Amino acid sequence: MVYDLIVIGSGAAGMMAAITAARRQKRVLLLEKLPVLGAKLKATGGGRCNVTNTLPKDRFMECFGRQGRFMSESLQALDHHALVEFFRTLGVECHAPDGYRVFPVSHNALSILNALEAELHRLNVDIRCSERVESWLYRKGVLYGVMTTQQHQYEGTHVIVATGGLGYPRLGAEGDGYVLAQSIGHTVTALHPAMIPLYTKEPWVKRCRADTIAKAELRISLPKAKKLRAVGDLIFTTQGIRGPVVLDFAREITPLLERYGEVPLHINVVQGMNEAQILEKIHKALAEDPHQRTRELLSVLIPDALSRELCAMASLDPERHWNKQPGGARHALLNLLVKMPLTVVGHGGFNMAMITRGGVTLKEVDPRTMRSRLIDNLYFCGEVLDLDGPCGGYNLQWSFSSGYLAGMLGEFTCKKVKTP
C-alpha cells in the first residue's frame, strides 16, 4: 500500500500532523519507535502539560529569539486560541489559572494524550509503534518512503519528520531526525542541551538545597554576555541550581560553557533590590524592633541557609546586632545580596535537557508550509527544527502549530487565521 503521508514520530508535532492530514481525507501512517504514543507529551509540565500560553503572536515569537519569526505562518495557521478550541472539540477543556500558562483543566497530561490518540483512531490513522525509521526509500532523486530497523519498508507520497530533539532520550527523542535529515542533504546546526539544571563550582550550594529564591535576577559576568539577564524563581540543589529561571537561562549558558569551560554568574537574590534599598529595609525593620539580630533581619529577605552562607562569606556573625558588625563586613554582605557570585561548570546534559537548542536549519525549510526546500515531498515540524523557546507552553505550541501546518501538506494559504 502507498500512503498519502508517513509521519515519523508521535510527539505533539507528529500526532497533530497526522490528525490534520487524516481530517483532510489523506491515508496516513504514523510510525513511532517506542511501544507507546506520545511518551514525552505525557511527561510535560510535571505531568500537568503546560500546553500553550496566552501571549499575543508577536510577543510569543520574540521569546524564541532572532529566528522566532519563522513560526509566523505556523501560528497564523494554529495559534493558542485555535489550539485550545481544538482540544475543546476533542472533549478537553483548558484554562489559564494564572492568566498566562494554559493547562488542561484536569491538570493531567494524560487527558491531552488520550484525546489525541482517540482522534487518531477515529480517523483511522494507521499507527505502528515499536517501528524505528532508520533510512529513506530514495531512488533517482525521488523520496518514496522509509525503512525501519525492523527492515519493514513503507511507501508514501509525502513524509513528515517529527522526531523531536535529543533531550530526555528515554522518552524517545535520540536525534534520529537529525541523522535522517543529514542523510538526505539537509544541514543540522550545532546541538546543545537547553532547559537543564546547572552545576556550580561552589560546594556551599548543597547546604542550601531546596531553598527557593523568588524573582532571582541572573546575569552572566563575561564581557561579551553582560547584557544577558533573566529573572525568575531559582532553587538550590546539591550540585548547583535549577528552577524556571535556570531552565530558561541555560540555553544562553551552555554554548558559553562549551567555549570557556566555566561561566561566572552574578545573582541578585533580593528581588532586584539595590544596596540602598536593602539598607532602607534593614533600618525600617530595626526602627520597628531595635533588638533584632542580623540573622533575624535577613530572614525576611532570604532563606536561613543562604543567609548563613552569605554571612560566612562576608565574615559577619549572623547572631550579632547589625549595628555591631564591622562596616566592611556589612558592605560585603549587601554586595553579596545584590551580586552573589556562582560559577557554572557543568549541566545535566541531554539526559536532563527538556529541549534541544539547534536542529535542522530553518533556511532549508519553507515556513509557509514546513516543506523541505531540498526535497519536494518532505516536511519537518516540532523540535527537530532549529527553534527553541523558554519554559511556559512555548515549545508545545510550536510543535502543535508546525505539526498542523506540515499536516496540511502545502495546502494551507495564510490569508486569515483558521481553526482546525
> Binding segment for ligand FAD among 19-27, 169-177, 218-226, 275-283 (CB under 6 A)?
169-177
Site mask, ligand FAD, residues 44-73, x = CB under 6 A? xx---xx-----------------------
Nearer to ligand FAD, 184 or 225 (CB): 184
Using CA atoms, how far apart are residues 268 and 419, in angstroms rounded to an integer?
44
Q: Least distance in Å: CB of 355 to ligand FAD?
A: 5
Collapse the DSSP code of 221 into the 3-class scheme (helix H, G, I; strand E, B; otherwise coil) and give the result.
coil
- Distances in Å between the Cα of 394 and the Cα atoms of 156, 170, 245 are 31, 22, 15
Q: How far is the CB of 172 from ligand FAD (least distance, A)?
A: 2
**Minimum distance between the CB of residue 408 and ligand FAD, rounded to whole angstroms?**
17
Minimal distance in Å, beta carbon 50 to ligand FAD? 3
- Can you tell me which residue has the cell 508521535? 10
Instruction: Single out the segment in contact with ligand FAD by CB under 6 A; choices: 161-169, 233-241, 316-324, 339-347.
Output: 161-169
Q: Considering beta carbons, is residue 13 or 342 the nearer one to ligand FAD?
A: 13
Taking alpha carbons only, the member of 245, 194, 244 closest to residue 355 is: 194
Contacts of residue 280, Cβ cutoff 8 Å, sequence gap at least 6? none
Residue corresponding to grid cell 531559582? 234
CB 170 to ligand FAD: min, Å:
10
Sort strands 212-220 and 263-268 into parallel, antiparallel or unpaired.
antiparallel
Q: What share of the chain is helix, strand, coil (3-state, %, to 5)?
A: 40, 25, 35
Q: Is residue 354 a contact point for ligand FAD (CB under 6 A)? A: yes
Considering the complex, state which of residue 54 and residue 343 has its C-beta at the smaller distance from ligand FAD.
Answer: 54
Interface with ligand FAD (CB under 6 A), residue from 71, 125, 173, 253: 173
Q: How far is CA 94 from CA 41, 85, 90, 104, 172, in A?
A: 16, 9, 11, 4, 26
Question: What is the C-alpha to C-alpha distance for residues 211 and 197, in angstroms, rounded to an integer?
Answer: 15
Of residues 28 and 273, the one with the C-beta less far from ligand FAD: 28
Of the residues 3, 7, 9, 297, which one makes contact with ligand FAD according to CB under 6 A: 9
Q: How many CA atoms within 13 Å lie on the side-chain side of 166?
A: 19
Burial 350-361, CB ≥16 within 10 A → b, else e: bebbbbbbbbbe
CB of 143 or CB of 208, closer to ligand FAD = 143
CA atoms of 55 and 412, how far apart (whole Å):
24
Q: Compute the least distance from the CB of residue 364 to ligand FAD, in Å.
A: 17
CA atoms within 13 A on the CB side of 200: 23
- Regarding 39 and contact with ligand FAD (CB under 6 A), the answer is yes
Cβ atoms of 339 and 267 within 8 Å: the answer is: yes
318 vs 403, beta carbon nearer ligand FAD: 403
Which of 145, 164, 318, 358 is close enough to bind ligand FAD by CB under 6 A?
A: 164
Binding of ligand FAD at residue 383 (CB under 6 A)? yes
Window 105-134: contact mask with ligand FAD (x via CB under 6 A): ---------------------------xx-
Q: Smallest distance from the beta carbon of 188 to ligand FAD, in angstroms?
A: 14
Binding site for ligand FAD (CB under 6 A): 8-14, 31-34, 39-41, 43-45, 49-50, 132-133, 162-164, 167-168, 172-173, 176, 354-355, 382-383, 393-396, 399
